[in-house]
């Protein structure tokens, strides 16, 4: 079995930003040489997320609006009493998820017709890492 690991650095321009990373993951799968297996994509920070959904601008905007309603940025979070101002971003990460796992077949990601892989940044404008781990034959 092959185990291939790669870490990529991402630095968003905005504090809250959704970045499609599907092509970066595809490239990593090809680099791995794995024909049949799985790929784990993991956001390695507590205020960012990896998730799979449709790449449609309205939907992406809806995610941010929905998250803001569930955990508003201006709520008096206990976490913020420590001097932080990002209590909401930890909750958003929990809601949107830490990682995604995708099947690999014939050196390609097995995604549905409209599925894309996204990195969701909720407290950005600094360097963070994404782990890509491909396992298989």
User: Which pLDDT belongs to residue 37?
Assistant: 98
Q: Which domain holds residue 108?
A: 2-136
User: Which pLDDT belongs to residue 89?
Assistant: 98
Q: Which residues pair with 136 in a beta bridge?
A: 2, 37
Segment 27-53, tens digit of pLDDT: 999 999 999 999 999 999 999 999 999
- What DSSP element (H or E) covers 6? strand 2-11
Q: What is the CATH number of the domain that holds 102?
A: 2.60.120.460
Pick out the chain residues at pLDDT < 70: none
User: 130, 7 in Cβ contact below 8 A?
Assistant: yes
pTM of the model: 0.96
Domain count, the chain: 1
């Amino acid at each position: 079995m092959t185990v291939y690991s790669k870490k990529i650095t991402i630095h968003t321009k905005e504090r809250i930003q959704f970045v499609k990373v599907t092509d970066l993951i595809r490239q990593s799968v090809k680099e791995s040489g794995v024909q049949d297996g799985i790929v784990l994509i993991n956001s390695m920070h507590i205020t960012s997320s990896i998730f799979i959904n449709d790449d449609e601008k309205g939907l992406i905007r809806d995610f941010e609006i929905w998250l803001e309603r569930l955990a508003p940025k201006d709520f008096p979070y206990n976490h913020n009493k420590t001097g932080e101002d990002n209590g909401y971003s930890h909750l958003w990460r929990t809601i949107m998820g830490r990682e995604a796992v995708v099947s690999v077949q014939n050196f390609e990601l097995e995604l549905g017709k409209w599925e894309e892989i996204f990195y969701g940044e909720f407290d950005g404008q600094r360097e963070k890492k994404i782990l890509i781990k491909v396992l298989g034959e």
